[in-house]
């Protein structure tokens, strides 16, 4: 353990882990052990955590939402921005005290942060109370790592630099019965100069279409109506397969699955968004009326230094084509403010893109320096007071275009997948439109998991209020 390795894993590996799961389950069930997990970062991490939870449940653990009650605490970490990392170190400080009170407590860390050497060294030296550390490539090995920890009583560290194969058929625990995420590819080849992801999640690897389709069919048989196809750059899906297949054609195949009602996907890179994909989105009735298309920065100069490989004009042209094919589509995006060297004029170009596109939503970030990426050593890092001022101005603009978009729904009847009881008001159910917009509606709990028609009666910045249209009430 502890040695870095590059390994190819056969699908039989999943079976080996399942055997370990069944060996462990007696011991864990007998003791009534509980686990607590917390996930940081993106949808990819959230989906990895579903797999982790699936394995822990099969091992006999029950979930608790209270850290203090848990026998195993696992954090699935993110390192895309510095504040995500700081949160983990803060949490580990708290766990040190908890472990003093409860010496049998097992602490596990996994995910993107663990793939960085400096972090790993820091954890080994200063956070000795962590019991198990693994990375992004070997999540499926959790049963074996736990078994080793139980048997040897020693710290277990298993970080790999990469791996080629993809392990299929692991258990997974979904938060919702009727919607699910499905990985279609792993890793990223783009090396945007600010981004740590290619270093911690490795090169692009696509799953075989038949494995993806089989998984979706099984999910649909299990009651799933909506799926989210996940990948760091879904638009380049299939290029590395022995028999290459485009993402557009994958969508066409998924669209044929009977019983499936909604298809979403993320994330799309503008440089790889083909005309054929736009055509597939428009022609496939199950593809939702939304597209997440990060533009990151409006200035072509900044985009070049970010290694995004498109210009402002090309991005706007892409948006024009998408809107021509799907006029009411809801576009969302990611934007980074204060990339090194960003001038006031550059920033105004970002504001200009937001004004022109009128996004229905945007995730806005202040640039965060990530050691090891090319942008970290670029000159002219932007002072905090400048980045904060730009960030606030951008946020105001994003909120106002979002509010305008929300207003446009008032009076319309739209289909909503009702997902859960509203957390603030138990008489309301909350769900999402095809555009991905949150809607609250007075409805009986029996509607959870149903796609229903809802008339929108009012709009706030981040959600809509609606009422069930009459035939649904009968
Ligand atoms: N600083 C700020 N934001 C970043 N992102 C990725 N790396 C950084 C960074 N170093 C943002 C991008 C990406 C989203 C997932 O996170 O906008 O699309
Ligand atoms: Fe990071 Fe760029 Fe890859 Fe997205 S496309 S994961 S921003 S390197």
In this predicted model, what pLDDT tens digit does every residue of 293-329 receive, in sequence order?
999 999 999 999 999 999 999 999 999 999 999 999 9
Domain identity same for 423 and 384:
no
pLDDT at res. 1: 34
Tell me, what CATH number does 277's domain have? 3.80.30.20
pLDDT given for residue 13 in this prediction: 80
Statement to judge: residues 139 and 252 lie in one domain: no
The answer to whether residues 384 and 254 belong to one domain is yes
Q: Is residue 34 part of a domain?
A: yes
Output the pLDDT for position 167.
65
Q: Both 224 and 116 in a single domain?
A: no
In a shared domain, residues 217 and 106: no
pLDDT digits (tens, 9 = 90+) for 191-214: 999 999 999 999 999 999 999 999
Residue 373 Cβ inside 6 Å of ligand 2? The answer reads no
Q: Residues comprising the binding site for [4Fe-4S] cluster?
A: 42, 78, 112, 188, 192, 195
pTM of the shown model: 0.92
**Same-domain pairing of 441 and 359:** no
Tell me, using a 6 A CB cutoff, whether residue 187 lines ligand 2.
Answer: no
**Is 163 among the domain residues?**
no
Which mutation among 336, 376, 390 tests ligand 1's pocket best, with the greatest number of atoms within 8 A of CB?
Answer: 336
Residue 6 has a pLDDT of 37
Would you state the pLDDT for residue 291?
A: 98
C-alpha 73 – ligand 2 centre gap (Å): 29
What are the 10-residue block averages of pLDDT along the chain, 474 residues in total?
40 85 92 97 93 95 96 97 95 94 96 94 95 93 95 93 66 87 94 96 93 96 97 94 96 98 97 97 98 98 98 98 97 98 98 97 97 96 97 97 95 97 94 98 96 97 92 52
Residue of minimum CA distance from atom 7 in ligand 1: 195
The answer as to whether 40 is a domain residue is: yes
195 lines ligand 2 (CB under 6 A): yes
Residues 383 and 430 in one domain: no
Whether 452 and 355 map to the same domain: the answer is no
Residues within a 6 A CB radius of ligand 1? 42, 80-81, 194-195, 294, 296, 334, 336, 365, 367-368, 370
Are both 462 and 393 inside the same structural domain? Answer: no
Q: Is the CB of 232 under 6 A from ligand 2?
A: yes
- Residues in the annotated binding site: 42, 78, 112, 188, 192, 195
Q: Are residues 121 and 266 part of one domain?
A: no
Q: How far apart are CA 293 and CA 268, in angstroms?
A: 6
**Counted domains in the chain:** 3
Q: Do 255 and 368 share a structural domain?
A: yes
Residues 454 and 333 in one domain: no
By residue range, what is the domain housing residue 467?
Answer: 413-473
């Amino acid at each position: 353990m502890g040695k870095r390795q590059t390994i190819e894993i056969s699908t039989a590996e999943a079976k080996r882990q399942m055997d370990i799961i069944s060996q462990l389950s007696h011991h864990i069930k007998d003791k009534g052990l509980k686990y607590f997990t917390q996930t940081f970062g993106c949808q990819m991490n959230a989906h990895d955590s579903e797999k982790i939870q699936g394995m822990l449940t099969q091992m006999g653990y029950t979930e608790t939402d209270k850290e203090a009650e848990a026998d195993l605490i696992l954090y699935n970490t993110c390192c895309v921005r510095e504040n995500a990392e700081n949160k983990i170190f803060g949490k580990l400080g708290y766990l040190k005290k908890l472990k003093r009170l409860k010496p049998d407590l097992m602490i596990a860390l996994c995910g993107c942060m663990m793939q960085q050497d400096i972090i790993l060294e820091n954890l080994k030296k200063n956070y000795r109370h962590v019991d198990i550390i693994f990375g992004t490539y070997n999540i499926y090995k959790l049963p074996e790592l736990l078994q080793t920890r139980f048997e040897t009583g020693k710290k277990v560290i298993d970080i790999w630099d990469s791996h080629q194969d993809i392990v299929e058929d692991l258990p997974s625990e979904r938060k919702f019965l009727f919607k699910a995420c499905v990985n279609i590819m792993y890793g990223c080849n783009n090396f945007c100069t600010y981004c740590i992801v290619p270093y911690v999640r490795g090169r692009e690897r696509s799953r075989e279409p038949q494995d993806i389709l089989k998984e979706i069919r099984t999910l649909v048989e299990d009651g799933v109506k909506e799926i989210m196809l996940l990948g760091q750059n879904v638009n380049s899906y299939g290029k590395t397969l022995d028999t290459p297949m485009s993402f557009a054609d994958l969508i066409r195949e998924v669209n044929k699955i009977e019983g499936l009602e909604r298809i979403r996907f993320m994330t799309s890179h503008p440089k790889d968004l083909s005309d054929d994909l736009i055509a597939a989105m428009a022609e496939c009735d199950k593809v939702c009326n939304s597209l997440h298309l990060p533009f990151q920065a409006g200035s072509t100069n900044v985009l070049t230094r970010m290694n995004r490989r498109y210009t402002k004009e090309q991005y706007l042209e892409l948006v024009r084509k998408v809107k021509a094919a799907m006029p009411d589509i809801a576009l969302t995006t990611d934007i980074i403010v204060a990339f090194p060297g960003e001038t006031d004029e550059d920033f105004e170009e970002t504001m200009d893109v937001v004004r022109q596109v009128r996004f229905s939503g945007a995730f806005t970030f202040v640039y965060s320096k990530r050691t090891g990426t090319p942008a970290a050593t670029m000159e002219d890092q932007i002072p905090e007071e400048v980045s904060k001022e730009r960030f606030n101005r951008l946020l105001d603009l994003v909120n106002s275009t979002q509010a305008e978009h929300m207003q446009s729904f008032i009076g319309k009847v739209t289909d909503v997948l009702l997902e859960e009881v509203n957390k603030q008001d138990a008489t309301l159910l909350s769900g999402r439109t095809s555009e991905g917009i949150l809607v609250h509606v007075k409805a009986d709990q029996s509607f959870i998991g149903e796609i229903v028609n809802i008339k929108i009666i009012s709009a706030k910045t981040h959600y809509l209020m609606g009422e069930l249209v009459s035939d649904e009430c009968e």
